[in-house]
């Protein structure tokens, strides 16, 4: 009460209210109530409810990505590093669903309603993949790649089944780890392949 209200305080309170009430019931009035201020004060720091929710989404996404970003910088040969990165991405998300399905659903809802945030986040992720690919090519661990960014995106797309929340229901399915391994092998075989027969080119 002593200090003047900050955006951080509001962000924290909003995160709390979202956790407690869920994405459909959390209101700006609730956030203000939690802080002991009038809801008008919240609008001094955030132009709209949507903007506040977007800020929460961005922060959450950024924080929960930390362990994966770490895997991107690990000191390993590129193929292991890529596999490790993909596995970490999958595992951290899977743990989140298992640990607290409701919370995961809440933040998935937030993510879905903020496509801009998602686009930025995907750009970060494919950027990390691209870095690993470049390192691998430079070290001769991967075959030369024509368009690294596009290939990075392809690796990301090909593993969607294991990081897109839309599939979270399947992450507990039996045999999901084998499915993940199979896709990884497919990808890594491709990247480490010696130039063999010509691949069918896009029309």
Which residues make up the interface to a copy of itself (CB under 8 A)?
A: 79-80, 83, 141, 143, 147, 150-151, 153-155, 157-161, 164, 166-167, 177-179, 181-190, 192-197, 199-200, 202
Q: Per CB under 7 A, does 106 bind DNA?
A: no
Q: Are 192 and 144 in contact (CB under 8 A)?
A: no
Is residue 21 within 8 A of residue 106, CB to CB? The reply is no
Please tell me the distance from the alpha carbon of residue 79 to that of residue 86, in angstroms, as a whole number. 11
- Shortest reach from residue 98's CB to a copy of itself, in Å: 19
Are the C-beta atoms of residues 178 and 161 closer than 8 Å to each other? no
User: Can you tell me the distance from the alpha carbon of 179 to that of 183, in angstroms, rounded to the nearest whole number?
Assistant: 6
Binding mask 128-167 for DNA (x = CB under 7 A): ----------------------------------------
CB closer to a copy of itself, 7 vs 193: 193
Q: Which is nearer to a copy of itself, 34 or 183 (CB)?
A: 183
- Which residues, numbered 168-187, are part of the site for DNA (CB under 7 A)? none
Q: Does 47 bind DNA (CB under 7 A)?
A: yes
Measured torsion, CA atoms of residues 171, 174, 180, 182, in degrees rounded to the nearest 10: -160
- CB 74 to a copy of itself: min, Å: 13
Please provide the distance, in angstroms rounded to a whole number, between the alpha carbons at the two ends of the chain: 66
Tell which one of 8, 38, 101, 193 touches DNA (CB under 7 A).
38
The total of other beta-carbon atoms located within 10 Å of residue 112's CB is: 13
Q: Exactly one of 14, 18, 30, 132 binds DNA (CB under 7 A); which one?
A: 30
């Amino acid at each position: 009460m002593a200090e003047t209200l900050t955006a951080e305080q509001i962000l924290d309170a909003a995160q709390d209210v979202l956790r407690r009430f869920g994405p459909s019931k959390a209101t700006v009035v609730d956030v203000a109530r939690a802080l002991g201020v009038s809801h008008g004060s919240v609008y001094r720091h955030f132009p709209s409810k949507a903007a506040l929710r977007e800020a929460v989404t961005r922060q959450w996404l950024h924080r929960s990505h930390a362990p994966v970003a770490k895997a991107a910088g690990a000191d390993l040969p590129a193929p292991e590093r890529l596999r490790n990165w993909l596995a970490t991405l999958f595992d951290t998300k899977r743990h989140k669903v298992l640990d607290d399905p409701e919370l995961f659903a809440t933040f998935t809802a937030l993510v879905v309603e903020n496509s801009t945030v998602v686009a930025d986040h995907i750009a970060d992720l494919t950027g990390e993949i691209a870095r690993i690919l470049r390192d691998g090519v430079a070290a001769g661990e991967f075959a030369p790649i024509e368009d690294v960014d596009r290939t990075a995106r392809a690796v990301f797309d090909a593993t969607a089944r294991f990081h897109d929340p839309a599939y979270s229901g399947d992450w507990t399915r039996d045999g999901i780890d084998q499915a993940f391994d199979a896709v990884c092998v497919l990808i890594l075989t491709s990247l480490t392949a010696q130039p063999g027969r010509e691949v069918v080119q896009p029309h």
